[in-house]
Structure 1
């Protein structure tokens, strides 16, 4: 079901405004989080002992991993179906919150039951508080996606600023008052507090407004939502294998010093990949609101994301040693080639992510997980093959070649989606079940 457009005639510039407003808001939130996050970690290293800092960082990493493995699987369904949920929008969001929280609880309980396997950093953990923290982070992750699905992502940078500053302030305040748990508490407490005002905004103002704007649109059948969720969740797990599992695999196969070089580049290029993911999220939202605008919005999204990425990638490729010099000469000597390769890999990755965003707007869940499964197998498999031969530079070659191969595979589908839909004059043309 495609939502009726409130204006029958839109200028090309008007057509892309919601897409770009949502995308740029999400990108701004990502940038703010990165900058304030860097300040947070620098202060942590200066204010806390290595033991307390390491323990806090380990707890945060475990919490984010457990919540991420559950919440990220629901992101695609939120941005796909919020636009057309109509009067059931509030119930749909609550259902996703509950499903994500339940999955986080189950996964975290499994983690807590196997604590002795995870090393000394997790000894003495309070199970109840850690379980609550994982659930809180799961909902915290999903609420930004809800704002995007409601076309109100401009609230995301506001929340990012408030959350980032609150973390830093609490980190400083707890350095002397509670040094052992200060790092973890400075992260969790602002997260829990942020849930209240943001979700009050969502459910008391934004959802009622969305329901009024989409009056008369019947909610999608539960079977269609469930079928899409199953396929998209599976695809997300393949994608998370690249994000979370691959670094762990690499860490087990190279010295810790070399892994430090590798990780610094992964973090840097991961921020570039987030820009493409943000644009793809906005593309899904707009395509779900009106399928007939998908081709035009996809063209606009491709143009804008390449306008952002190309100059950044060019700078990283040309001046990789200079960029890495902020970490020290050892990073410059050992990771410059890796940075060039991983930066170049973000370009074909952008094509793939935008294609996946278009597929979500079309509810093509089977193709989504097939593309992500192919990408996961190629990236992880080629990295395992080249890492022993060429070290971390081989990992960069593996990523670039794999992403380029997947981009070539999806290119025919991407080109077909870029074509404007045929006009038949029928209302709701282009609607498609999974």
Structure 2
């Protein structure tokens, strides 16, 4: 036991593991509080309102993430070395993400009849304006976590989301009687907007000044052209990946009823939480790769070991206990979502390899390869899901995801093995993980 404690303490002194563990802890906290939130919602709201709330939140996150997720790789890559330009880089990210998200959401609202009956609740000036504001809020909320990670302060992320999750649950209960229609969406957005104030005070008032001081001697502020060149390759690929996470549920919502979508969305949300664990360590890997490329091979190996050590048991438990987990929300959730949740959990195994490979490419600024791999994966998922939907119904999402990620993992495996064995100079990497304490 003492050896395990010593190992964990040693890991926490390593920024790669400290940030990665913090982001994984954040995912776990978000998953637990999220399950509690949706469990309350199933009891406090009708099945139709539950499904509508899920659908509207999914659409909001889709448009908020159009540029925000595209900037995740860039901010993780350039914040560590931005020096005096760090505040400008973060604020530009906020502005671009919010503006493009709102423009896309406006297009969605203007074509609302094309998106099915579930989204008709957003019709009218008031609901539409609130939806646009929520897109802006969620864009900033998404990027502030990335900013803290790039600043090597990811330990604040789970604290922020713990408070956010608890307030969100409290407001959900409070609005159940006062706002039976729309209470789910309102309870999600209002705490998000409130959370922006203290977190951004922390970022710009405390963390950024310390970061600029600590990295003054080694900072290499990126030029706009350099950031733009990186985004030109990374953004199209990230936009493709966005289709997997958010566009797929929106397409499903347009084809099924609100109640059916609610049951699908619960299994899909839990599956995405497991997948997010793989991405957490990968984001930390991008940050550390930007600080020191000579350690990239060793960091990739360490990230793979830790990711599989943590994720593999979670996948096994999820596959075995999927019916029990979903039964918490009701027997109908287990009947319709068990297979989907199992398939999505199994797909995370190859996804770990893909995410580590993508992060290594970001650290090396290999934007063209990023676009090819991410775009190819998204295309495979969308084509397979749409092709299989008439046969497997909502389970087509899980089948398409599993087949696509296994195929892409096999294709990138030779290149990933080269990265694991060689450092940036093309020489065999001799840096190994720290030996176990005696």
Q: 1:84 to 1:115 in 2, by over 3 A?
A: same
Aligned counterparts of 1:360 and 1:422: Cα–Cα separation in 2: 13
CA offsets per residue over residues 269-319 of structure 1, 9 Å max, x none? 211100001111010011111111111111111001111122222233445
Per-residue deviation, 1:418: 0.9
CA offsets per residue over residues 356-406 of structure 1, 9 Å max, x none? 111111111111110011111222223334444455556544332221110
Runs (5+) with no aligned partner, structure 1: 1-11, 426-434
Q: 1:316 to 1:152 in 2, by over 3 A?
A: same
Aligned counterparts of 2:281 and 2:338: Cα–Cα separation in 1: 28
Aligned counterparts of 2:214 and 2:387: Cα–Cα separation in 1: 53
1:288 is aligned to: 290
Q: 1:335 to 1:144 in 2, by over 3 A?
A: closer
Aligned counterparts of 1:231 and 1:261: Cα–Cα separation in 2: 36
Q: 1:338 to 1:106 in 2, by over 3 A?
A: closer
Matched, 1:313 2:315: yes
- After superposing the two structures, state which structure 1 stretch, 248-257 or 299-308, moved more: 248-257
The 5-angstrom pairing of residues 2-21 of structure 1 reads: 17-21=14-18
Aligned counterparts of 1:368 and 1:414: Cα–Cα separation in 2: 13
Match of 2:277 among 275, 278, 282: 275
Q: 1:194 to 1:233 in 2, by over 3 A?
A: same
1:416 is aligned to: 418
- After superposing the two structures, state which structure 1 stretch, 90-99 or 164-173, moved more: 164-173
> Which secondary structure does the structure 1 equivalent of 2:14 belong to?
helix
- After superposing the two structures, state which structure 1 stretch, 12-21 or 346-355, moved more: 12-21
Runs (5+) with no aligned partner, structure 2: 1-8, 428-438
Aligned counterparts of 1:406 and 1:345: Cα–Cα separation in 2: 11
1:188 is aligned to: 189
Q: 1:40 to 1:342 in 2, by over 3 A?
A: closer
1:431 is aligned to: none
Per-residue deviation, 1:146: 0.4
Per-residue deviation, 1:29: 1.4
Q: 1:84 to 1:141 in 2, by over 3 A?
A: same
1:379 is aligned to: 381
Aligned counterparts of 1:392 and 1:117: Cα–Cα separation in 2: 20
Q: 1:315 to 1:129 in 2, by over 3 A?
A: closer
TM-score, scaled to structure 2: 0.85
CA offsets per residue over residues 201-240 of structure 1, 9 Å max, x none? 1011111111111113231122111011122111111111
Q: 1:19 to 1:223 in 2, by over 3 A?
A: same
1:175 is aligned to: 176
1:124 is aligned to: 124
Confirm or deny: 8 A CA contact 1:167 1:187 kept in the other structure: yes
> Which secondary structure does the structure 2 equivalent of 1:128 belong to?
helix
> Which secondary structure does the structure 1 equivalent of 2:220 belong to?
coil
Per-residue deviation, 1:181: 4.7
Per-residue deviation, 1:15: 9.7
- After superposing the two structures, state which structure 1 stretch, 180-189 or 159-168, moved more: 180-189
1:206 is aligned to: 207
1:137 is aligned to: 138
> Which secondary structure does the structure 2 equivalent of 1:370 belong to?
helix
TM-score, scaled to structure 1: 0.86
Q: 1:66 to 1:51 in 2, by over 3 A?
A: same
1:432 is aligned to: none
Match of 2:302 among 288, 300, 303: 300
> Which secondary structure does the structure 2 equivalent of 1:238 belong to?
helix
Per-residue deviation, 1:30: 1.6
Per-residue deviation, 1:340: 3.7
Q: 1:189 to 1:86 in 2, by over 3 A?
A: same
Aligned counterparts of 1:175 and 1:332: Cα–Cα separation in 2: 25
Aligned counterparts of 1:24 and 1:158: Cα–Cα separation in 2: 13
1:100 is aligned to: 97
- After superposing the two structures, state which structure 1 stretch, 334-343 or 405-414, moved more: 334-343
Q: Provide the alpha-carbon RMSD of the alignment.
A: 2.9
Confirm or deny: 8 A CA contact 2:52 2:262 kept in the other structure: no
> Which secondary structure does the structure 2 equivalent of 1:152 belong to?
coil
Matched, 1:399 2:401: yes
Q: 1:15 to 1:257 in 2, by over 3 A?
A: closer
Aligned counterparts of 1:260 and 1:129: Cα–Cα separation in 2: 22
1:7 is aligned to: none
The 5-angstrom pairing of residues 60-71 of structure 1 reads: 60-71=57-68
> Which secondary structure does the structure 2 equivalent of 1:363 belong to?
coil
- After superposing the two structures, state which structure 1 stretch, 180-189 or 30-39, moved more: 180-189
2:24 is aligned to: 27
Per-residue deviation, 1:342: 2.8
Q: 1:332 to 1:174 in 2, by over 3 A?
A: closer
Confirm or deny: 8 A CA contact 1:86 1:211 kept in the other structure: yes
Q: 1:15 to 1:419 in 2, by over 3 A?
A: farther
Confirm or deny: 8 A CA contact 1:338 1:392 kept in the other structure: yes
